């Protein structure tokens, strides 16, 4: 990290250098770090070696080393909400698209991320085979998780939950397409602008535009949780309804508050068990 900081400083990238300087603090714990091409990293919050509950955060667009502290703040808040016996891993394992970019409308970056996420979760499962592990997938990250899910089952990687929040869609039509034994949850804050995007998918000659059905729709088949009144960047805000309910899901509990009508308990044959 120090080497990447020095390189950023030599190139006059003050924002990147400042972010890396903070990351290089001796008290922080990283499972991996690569400063190239926007940056890749996996940082641990809590004590992973003896954690019975593990949450893996998969970020959406505009997440990189230059804006890493925002991602880190959410991971810190979640670990504090979970308390002792839990660990959170902030997994920045792919080059996320810009929010306002063609890449944010297509699944290309998500497909690129899939093998990296599968490899990471395979290593985590081998190291902590008895831990209760949940994927928390924000925004574009929900497409990464959904596209990776069938391969996780093939790899023998057991997840207890997959949570899709602030999602534009996943690139699949239903929970059954995930071919997972995990419980699949979906939630969206009342003030999240993502609710206004079209939930459609158009096949073009060289790519696919859009991500298909709304994960909160009855047809998709996820269990719905109350994500509160916040906006697109508020799900892990300290004190929020969404943070509290995400922590309850990670812990195997039932989310509290008013839950919108949904298909709770109605999972396809290939779908998940209930926590």
How far does the chain reach from its first CA to its final CA, in angstroms?
39
pLDDT in tens, 15-61: 777 777 777 777 889 999 887 777 799 999 999 999 999 999 999 99
pLDDT at res. 5 = 67
Percentage of the chain beyond pLDDT 70 is: 93
pLDDT at res. 265 = 34
pLDDT at 270 over 90: no
pLDDT at res. 17 = 76
> If pLDDT is split at 50, 70 and 90, which confidence band does 260 have?
low
Which residue has better confidence, 68 or 90?
Answer: 90
pLDDT in tens, 171-182: 999 999 999 999
Domains and CATH numbers, the chain: 30-250 (3.40.50.1820)
202 forms bridges with which residues in the sheet? Answer: 209
Q: Find the mean pLDDT for residues 4-14.
A: 76
Report the 10 Å Cβ neighbour count for 92.
24
pLDDT at res. 236 = 99
Give the tokens for residue 42.
Answer: 């996996």
Rg (CA), the chain: 18
pLDDT at 185 over 70: yes
The average confidence (pLDDT) of the chain is: 89
Distances (CA, A) of 88 to 77, 92, 134, 184: 10, 13, 10, 19
> If pLDDT is split at 50, 70 and 90, which confidence band does 161 have?
very high
- State pTM to two decimals: 0.88
Q: What are phi and psi of 92, to 5 degrees?
A: -105, 80
Count of positions (residues) in the chain = 275
Q: Find the mean pLDDT for residues 86-110.
A: 95
pLDDT at res. 16 = 74
Question: What CA–CA distance (Å, rounded) separates 104 from 123?
Answer: 28
Give the tokens for residue 85.
Answer: 């016996």
Four-residue CA torsion sign, 232, 234, 240, 243: positive
Burial class of 153 by CB neighbour count within 10 A (0 to 12, 13 to 18, 19+): middle
Q: Find the mean pLDDT for residues 200-218.
A: 92
């Amino acid at each position: 990290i120090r080497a990447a900081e020095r390189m950023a400083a030599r190139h006059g990238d003050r924002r990147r250098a400042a972010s890396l300087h903070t990351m290089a603090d001796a008290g922080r714990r990283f499972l991996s770090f690569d400063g190239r091409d926007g940056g890749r990293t996996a940082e641990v919050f809590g004590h992973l070696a003896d954690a019975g509950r593990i949450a893996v955060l998969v970020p959406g667009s505009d997440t990189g080393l230059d804006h890493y502290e925002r991602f880190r703040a959410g991971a810190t808040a979640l670990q504090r909400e979970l308390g002792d016996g839990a660990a959170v891993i902030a997994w920045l394992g792919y080059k996320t698209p810009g929010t306002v970019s063609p890449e944010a409308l297509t699944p290309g970056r998500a497909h690129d991320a899939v093998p990296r996420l599968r490899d990471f979760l395979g290593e985590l499962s081998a190291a902590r085979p008895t831990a209760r592990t949940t994927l928390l997938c924000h925004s574009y990250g929900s497409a990464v998780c959904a596209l990776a899910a069938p391969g996780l089952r093939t790899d023998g990687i057991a997840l207890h939950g997959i949570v899709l929040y602030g999602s534009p869609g996943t690139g699949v039509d239903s929970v059954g397409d995930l071919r997972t034994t995990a419980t699949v949850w979906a939630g969206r804050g009342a003030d999240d602008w993502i609710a206004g995007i079209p939930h459609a998918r158009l096949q073009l000659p060289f790519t696919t535009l859009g991500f298909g059905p709304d994960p909160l729709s009855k047809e998709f088949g996820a269990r719905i949780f109350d994500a509160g009144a916040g906006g697109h960047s508020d799900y892990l805000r300290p004190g929020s309804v969404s943070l509290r309910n995400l922590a309850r899901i990670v812990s195997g509990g039932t989310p509290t508050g008013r839950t919108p009508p949904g298909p709770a308990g109605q999972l396809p044959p290939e779908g998940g068990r209930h926590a």
